[in-house]
Amino acid sequence: MTTTLKHPDLNAVNPELESAEAEGIVRWAHNTFGEGLVLSTSFGMQAAVMLHLVTQVVPDIPVIFIDTGFHFLDTYKFADQLTDRLKLNLKVYQAKQSAAWTLAQHGKLWEQGVEGLNKLDQIHKVEPMARALNELGATATLAGLRRGQTENRKNLPTAVKQGDRYKVHPILTWSTKDVHDYLTKHDLPYHPLREQGYTSIGDWHSTLPITAGMDERDGRFGGLKQECGLHRPETQEEDDSRFSSGL
């Protein structure tokens, strides 16, 4: 039977998790949070890594996918492919209004600077995710953030508490090479748009391919910010700069 510890001592646990293998971190999270543990995915560039890694340990874990209504068609096809192959227990959540309705009410929010992008994220990502976590009774979420992705993520611990819930990052210390090696070892695919120069996949209106010398997340949000809204920074200042961002 899975043991559930509602309030782990993160100060004591994080030093141990720092040197643990990714699979071991997933097992710790499962043993700690039991049925309250969920996995979130955007079916992005390297999504197959976390989806495969976690479901090898917890096959029936609820996998939350926030359908913004603005994903690339290739993302939906990729989601279907991985859901079928890995037999995912997929839980799809959407905003309470359609993407078309948001467009009618507010215009092209993605062309209205950081304020517009944040409003769009709140409607189509943050609110649906909060609803998903509440309805699924989640006490902790596994997420595939890595320290090398953005400046703010360099400071993340393996396990953090955000409000009343916890977030655990099993591949936080992995490099881009580690990700590639895992995908290759298990014959897992990258997102199909990789072949067109994309390195970080979000909504079609705020994602561009990159060129040589650019950071892997430089194609997101026109350089105005690097975070999607689900992984909120602790302060507004952290989100104001593309070099300092925070799920």
pLDDT 10s digits, 134-181: 999 999 999 999 987 777 778 899 999 998 999 999 999 999 999 999
* Dihedral sign computed on CA atoms, order 183, 81, 26, 42: positive
What is the pTM for the complete model shown?
A: 0.82
Checking if the pLDDT of 60 tops 90, the result is: yes
Asked if 49 and 182 touch (Cβ cutoff 8 Å), the reply is yes
pLDDT higher for 206 or 58?
58
Name the pairing type of β-strands 165-168 and 159-162. Answer: antiparallel
Q: Quick one: 10-192 is in which CATH superfamily?
A: HUPs (3.40.50.620)
Distance between CA 178 and CA 161 in Å, rounded? 26
For 40, left (φ over 0), alpha (ψ -120 to 50), or beta? beta
Q: What are phi and psi of 128, to 5 degrees?
A: -60, -35
Residue in 58, 117, 228, 230 annotated catalytic: 228
Domain positions in the chain are 10-192
Convert the pLDDT of each residue in 180-218 to its tens digit: 999 999 999 999 998 888 887 889 888 876 544 445 545
Q: For the chain, how far is it from start to end, CA to CA, in angstroms?
A: 31
Q: Is 228 labeled as catalytic in the residue annotation?
A: yes
Contact between 168 and 40 (Cβ < 8 Å)? no
Strands 62-67 and 165-168: unpaired
**pLDDT-based confidence at residue 234 (cuts at 50, 70, 90):** very low
Q: 47-57 and 73-86 helices cross at what angle (nearest 10)?
A: 20
